[in-house]
Structure 1
């Protein structure tokens, strides 16, 4: 196995993978895929094989890789390979893998050099690899051969770009040492997708095949034609070595010997060769892993925090502890009592910000809902006057009374007191319902033990129902006490002497309530629901209710007032909720049939919940705006005419009505004060005491402890899963910390001037523009020894070195330039001739030999269509 650096990374990544697998998740490291790009027979497959450490790719001359090979390396204890197109078969002999690649290539492309963009997917399972994706791509070619289409060059380039455009791809731009580096199509393609050079590594192959007297020292030292990440030279196995079954380990030793013995490379041998290439790639993988760790750590920490609360009740209990059930029972009953008390009494810690707790809801019942129910039954003016009139007449009988009878006052008061029973009992029912809901919410933590939860709910609910009877009896007793004695000497009672005078004052006060006082009773958002679509539709405003008026503004800053509505003659009525609306609505209207706002007889105000509606109604009551049926009906203006034939009787009715009004207000004040106290003492406080002191004993007596603490299968599984995930998350965080300290990140090299690589940025725009791509860095013209590179003009031997990209000895008599007078097509022909096998020359003895590297000028294709087009 040749990749030692890979083997060092494997344990680190596997620890992470194992930790994530234990919590049922994937690691999401998204390790980079490594794409090898280069021309035909540049040594791409050999580089890839050296990296993997196995011989498994087809070999030969010409175009061998004719379909992309997507090689997925997967860590496994056993070593084998399998193809996506034949999943059922496992290959343990890698010679068979090579044969299958060749056969599958021929099945799609044919046997006559055809190509196809359809990839071959190969998975290699091995204990010596990381979970990586390696891509072997077809070599870049210029001239179609065999069954290849005429636009073979552009098809291959498009295919390569699809794979190297991904940001997480590392690009190995492979160029053989015996060709012009400035004309490297691999570097041009890499420049297109990676203009900053952050993920491109230059690889120079076939250093051992260079002509004698030439070397690539300046290139490998990144002095000539520099790249940001520089170049790495490698020596691959020859076809003879491969056919002779020379293994990779022996080939690596031979490569090492070559660099140490070569005079041009020995000083940088430690930075050359396949091991250094592997080390560089592994460092990139390490950097990528380290860059991924902060996001992984943040994700794990957030998951751990979310689990902390859920695991709190489990993490200290061991399944094999014999006292576990007893401990759990005691702890859960105690926690239930604490939770119940917090929800009722309120707590500064762990405040629920999404909905009202049981205690807050009970408070609204006491101080908003109950007073509203009292006011609804209190003001029934027309019936009250009728009853007073009948009472006076019935007491006088056949006689004509001279004085207002106090017996009529007592009879009316007692009848009004009896009416208090309904709202008082309704208040008790509402509180009981909230208590039972609170109990159910608190027992939700006992869901791990269904029988315990069921028994706890049953026992506490039964106790609440028992207290319900006691509480209602006490409430009825209070009402009976109020009936038993009418205390006309109460300090707040107006008395008979002041009744007439008070009547006049009260009437004036009703006409102009709270005159001279500007008291803000409530502020809040409401929606005016009945504005027509032609006028803008429903709108939300900021409402301010005072003792005198209802105003609304654009927003809560109260700077832009939209309207102010006086409260005179206003009433409230309920409005049915719309079929498609989720709003709760009530309306305000004028009893004198006047428009309330613009052309509206009533304003429909909408809230998000019924609780908000009740709260606003209670606020309007404080401002003197009552429900529709609670005020006298004055439609015809003859409210009392039926019972006021006698002026004296009319005065007596008015006097008693004011007396009743005064005394009933005293009773209501007393009831509003005593109801919360009675309910708190007899029901709520007693329930809290029962939970703290007696619930545990009732549980022990109601069922066997083992049956109470019997977990449901689902809950037991959930507990085990949570505990396992909790410990796995902690372990994963520890592993991330170890990786952070055991690995080192290397900085990105500084940018270099790589403008010598002419990126074909218009490659994907159109076929015509792609054919016009320049494949060089400048036009070579003029006499021998003169080259123009970019904006600089070089002369002499240095110009020759620039043309070739290699350090070489230059023959003074050699001619390198294109004739200035030559035609453009002639230059193109010479460019083709210089790059193909036909460029071999005849030596002095008449033999044929390949050109030496320094003897080949850098011939640049013109921007116009070439002969190959």
Structure 2
């Protein structure tokens, strides 16, 4: 474990490392100085340093955060005599005038050297250059502020880093922040108050920041803007130090003893009172050392403050800040070490996504290309088999999507095809008549069945081809998603891999589609009526005859019921005419009862009719929308119906058979006799049976064909195809050309990792 005095320089080294890398991810321990304008912040900092080096003026002078590192060095430190090229004056590219100062001119032309070489300042934006004249430091701060923040009194969050080396300072690191203002002045932006507050909060809101809240003694403490702002981020006052400036300017008879003792506004780190150098002292060039002696004498001679004089003044403040910062750094360093280890692990993992830090040489690029090819092929296969490590949980993909195509999309498409949807009864009748020629047939012609069933089997071709296309599209999608972060480093290689696999899939698409088409043609080439699942024509015919006989038996019972209803209708109509009533409401209750009883008697004679609508319900309009419906054809009863009802039902039977094919207007065709009706129905049922058999086989065979000829073939040959096409020495250089944006990101990641490791080593030396 290193000494306490080494902790602050260690923290300064960490800050330098972070600054050089442009990184602000570490919450390093720091002292932030906040206060309103003209509260005395600059005087405190200059007194701590012992030099006048800060810009002064009206309005906002500090417009960029100033990170001030005070480094105590011994009078015989080797740093004092360290060689610097003083003869060569660095060109200040930030200064448009590039004029030499008087000291530079004397040093260059007359060999002039400053008398004091043990105190100097260095800016991190001007590495290697020492400023022995602190007036030059002031000018450089002004120039650097104007370069970034402009000359219109605006502010910037980009800090200026200044190191001061002197044997008369204590090791400290402070951040001087812009003074809090309320009203924009001159060319200041209208929202300058909000900008300054947000900038201050960026620093003081960090848990590792010690807040140095500066408040003038001649302003009521309840109106202190610095304490208000500190309380927002540190409500319990655990990391806030109160500094009361201008103690000598308080009204006569008043004092700040209650404040300094913590009775009025308690802070864990307490309050310290200081006396600033007056403007007259600055103009008369009174030294800081003399000002410190006068300040000490003020507190010793004061009748109220002399009891606490040892805890007042800038010298005491410097020691207190040094001790607080040391303890704070010692407390926070283990956490910073743990944070660095976490950042190193995260950065190393991020670097792997960019392909690591490996340098590509002629010797290892062949192996790298082969390795990336194998990984690409393995990801393609694993995506199909469902063994990939990055399987999506949002949607079906890969092999699961192919399974869905087979069983859901393709299966539903086949089931949605109606075997006889585009086949009318007249088509069947015409096919039967055409297949018999000039002779009447004794039996149902088998040729007619073949002619009719083959076009229906052809309906299965379109969904089968669509199934092949969907699987092909899914394989193409898998191919495009097989990239990896390591492969993304080489966009040309990735594009070539996708191109080769896409070409392979296109090659296999044609043979697969042709084989599926041949499956349909095979089933159309030979109609196997001996298939065990195919319906027997004898059984089908017997079932049709039985169904027709049952229907005719039901129709034969209807005439008696119709005659009774017809007679009752005439009686009701006659009675209506006698009463000269335009409605049927004058029907007597007796007539209603008689009509109802007639209907009930008929229902009792024929129990199967009890579920049918009664004539009474129809006649009185209780269900006017319903008639007698049989197989989609509706027949409504009329009051003037005459003739044989059996004939009408037989005609309806013909209509039923005719309309099953879907055609409604075929009056130009000859009327079918009973034999033709039976033949057409027989053919229709046989087509439905055979189509179902073929559809079931196609649903089973097409996915197998696609898997064999397209999916599995691609899985097995993909690696050989990639090696054959791309594993060539002449292609390696072009294939391994890195993406420029990714290469830049990788370089940033490498630099970040090196920075974190350097910071970890710095902390490791003292822990």
Identify whether the pair has TM-score above 0.5, normalized to the shorter chain. Answer: yes
Per-residue deviation, 1:736: 7.3
Contact 1:451-1:707 at 8 Å conserved across structures: no
For the Cα contact (< 8 Å) 2:457–2:524, is it kept in 1? yes
Give yes or no for contact 1:382–1:633 (8 Å, CA) kept in 2.
yes
Taking the TM superposition and a 5 Å limit, the aligned residue runs for 1:306-455 are 307=350, 310-311=353-354, 314-315=355-356, 317-320=358-361, 322-347=362-387, 349-375=389-415, 378-383=418-423, 385-442=425-482, 446=487, 448-449=489-490, 451-455=492-496
- CA-to-aligned-CA distance 1:83-140 (integer Å, 9 cap, x gap): x9999889875547889999xxxxxxxxxxxxxx9789998652339683334689x9
Match of 1:351, SS state, is: coil
The residue that corresponds to 2:146 in the other structure is none
- Measured at CA, do residues 220 and 323 of structure 1 come closer, stay the same or move farther in structure 2, by a change above 3 Å? same
Gaps of 5+ in 2: 70-83, 102-130, 143-151, 165-171, 186-190, 205-210, 549-628, 635-658
1:173 and 1:187 in contact (8 A); partners too: no
Q: 1:10 aligns with which of 9, 12, 16?
A: 12
Q: Is 686-695 or 238-247 further displaced after alignment?
A: 238-247
Residue equivalent to 2:51: 54
1:777-801 superposed Cα distances (whole Å, 9 cap, x missing partner): xxxxxxxxxxxxxxxxxxxxxxxxx
The residue number in structure 2 matching 1:720 is 743
Q: Shift of residue 698 of structure 1? A: 3.6
Tell me if 1:696 matches 2:723: yes
- SS of 1:35's equivalent in the other structure is strand
Partners in 2 of 1:29 and 1:680 — Cα distance? 61
Greater fraction strand: 1
Q: Secondary structure at the match of 2:423?
A: helix
In the aligned structure 2, how far is the partner of 1:423 from the partner of 1:192? Answer: 75
CA contact (8 A) 1:68 1:136 kept: yes
What is the aligned counterpart of 2:520 among 463, 475, 479?
479
1:185 equivalenced with 2:220 (yes/no): yes
Q: Would you say 1:127 and 2:124 are equivalent positions?
A: no
Q: What residue in structure 2 maps to residue 490 of structure 1? A: 531
Does residue 685 in structure 1 map to residue 712 in structure 2?
yes
State the shift of 1:709 in Å. 4.5
* Unaligned segments of structure 1, at least 5 residues: 60-64, 103-116, 141-151, 153-157, 177-182, 508-568, 570-589, 594-630, 745-869
Q: Is the 8 A contact 1:460 1:691 kept in 2?
A: yes
Helix, strand or coil for the counterpart of 1:318? coil
- Structure 1 residues 89 and 350 mapped into 2: Cα distance closer, same or farther (>3 Å)? farther
Alignment of 1:733-812 (within 5 A): none
State the Cα distance separating 1:317 from its structure 2 match.
3.1
Q: CA deviation at 1:330?
A: 1.2
Q: Distance in 1 between matches of 2:718 and 2:290?
A: 81
2:357 and 2:750 in contact (8 A); partners too: no
Q: Deviations over 1:290-343 (max 9, x none)?
A: 8997998799589748836623xx2263234x3321122111111121111122
- Does the 8 Å CA contact 1:31/1:132 hold for their aligned counterparts? yes
Query: Does the CA contact (< 8 Å) of 1:16 and 1:732 recur in 2?
Result: yes
**Structure 2 CA distance, aligned partners of 1:38 and 1:470?**
84
* 8 Å contact from structure 1 (residues 417, 479) kept in 2: yes
Q: Helix, strand or coil for the counterpart of 1:315?
A: coil
- Kept in 1: contact 2:351–2:357 (CA 8 A): no
Give the secondary structure class of the aligned counterpart of 2:734: coil
CA deviations 1:600-621 (Å, max 9, x no partner) are xxxxxxxxxxxxxxxxxxxxxx
Residues 740 and 402 (structure 1 numbering): CA distance in 2 closer, same or farther, change over 3 Å?
Answer: farther
Partner residue of 1:598?
none
1:666 to 671, 687, 693: 693
Q: Is the CA contact 2:337–2:760 (under 8 Å) kept in the aligned structure 1?
A: no
CA distance in 2, matches of 1:334, 1:74: 55
- Higher RCO structure, 1 or 2 (CA under 8 Å, sep 6+): 2
Distance change >3 Å, CA 66–CA 693, structure 1 → 2: closer
CA contact (8 A) 1:409 1:656 kept: yes
Report if the CA contact (8 A) 1:386-1:643 is conserved. no
Q: CA deviation at 1:406?
A: 2.2
What's the CA shift string for 1:147-196, capped at 9, x where partnerless? xxxxx9xxxxx9999967965564544556xxxxxx75256425655565
User: 1-side partners of 2:278 and 2:537: how far apart?
Assistant: 127
Residue 59 (structure 2) pairs with residue 67 (structure 1): yes
Q: 1:238 to 1:695 in 2, by over 3 A?
A: closer
1:787 aligned residue: none
- Report SS of the residue matched to 1:645: coil
Deviations for 1:522-576, whole angstroms, at most 9, x for unmatched residues?
xxxxxxxxxxxxxxxxxxxxxxxxxxxxxxxxxxxxxxxxxxxxxxx9xxxxxxx
**Cα 1:55–1:450, aligned 2, differ >3 Å: closer, same or farther?**
closer
**CA deviation after TM superposition for structure 1 residue 493, in Å:** 1.2
Measure the CA separation in 1 of the matches of 2:22 and 2:703.
Answer: 56
How far, CA to CA, are the matches of 1:30 and 1:87 in structure 2?
Answer: 38
| Residue 710, structure 1, aligned to residue 734, structure 2 | yes
User: Hey, what's the Cα distance between the residues in 2 that align with 1:218 and 1:439?
Assistant: 77
Post-superposition offset of 1:388: 2.7
Kept in 2, the 8 Å contact 1:38–1:175? The answer is: no
Tell me which protein shows more helix as a share of its residues. 2
Which piece of structure 1 moves more, 187-196 or 651-660? 187-196
Deviations 1:56-76 (A, max 9, x none): 4689xxxxx643432535569
Per-residue Cα deviation, 1:435-461 (whole angstroms, up to 9, x for no partner): 333323336875544554454344433
SS of the equivalent of 1:273 reads helix
CA contact (8 A) 2:426 2:661 kept: no
State the SS of the aligned residue for 1:72. Answer: coil
Distance 1:55 1:393 in 2: 120
| C-alpha separation in 1, matches of 2:428 and 2:274 | 116
Secondary structure of the residue aligned to 1:126 is: strand
**Cα RMSD, aligned residues only:** 5.8
For these two proteins, the number of residue pairs brought into alignment is: 566
Between 342-351 and 255-264, the greater mean CA deviation after superposition: 255-264
**Which residue number corresponds to residue 502 of structure 2?**
461
C-alpha distance in 2, partners of 1:478/1:506? Answer: 37
Task: Give the match's secondary structure for 2:515.
Answer: helix
Give the distance between the partners of 1:505 and 1:16, measured in 2 at CA: 97
Aligned pairs (5 A) from 1:98-109:
none
Q: Does the Cα contact within 8 Å between 1:334 and 1:692 map onto a contact in 2? A: yes
Distance 1:273 1:734 in 2: 37
**Aligned match of 2:703:** 676
Cα separation, 2, equivalents of 1:98 and 1:76: 13
Secondary structure, in 3 states, of the residue corresponding to 1:132?
Answer: strand
User: Normalization by structure 2: what TM-score?
Assistant: 0.58
The alignment partner of 1:489 has SS state of: coil
Q: d(CA) in 2 for partners of 1:505 and 1:130?
A: 108
What is the TM-score of this pair, normalised by structure 1?
0.52
Alignment of 1:273 with 2:316, yes or no, is yes
Relative to structure 1, is the Cα distance of residues 224 and 711 closer, same or farther in structure 2, using a 3 angstrom cutoff?
same
Secondary structure class of the residue paired with 2:176 = strand
SS of the residue corresponding to residue 34 of structure 1 reads strand
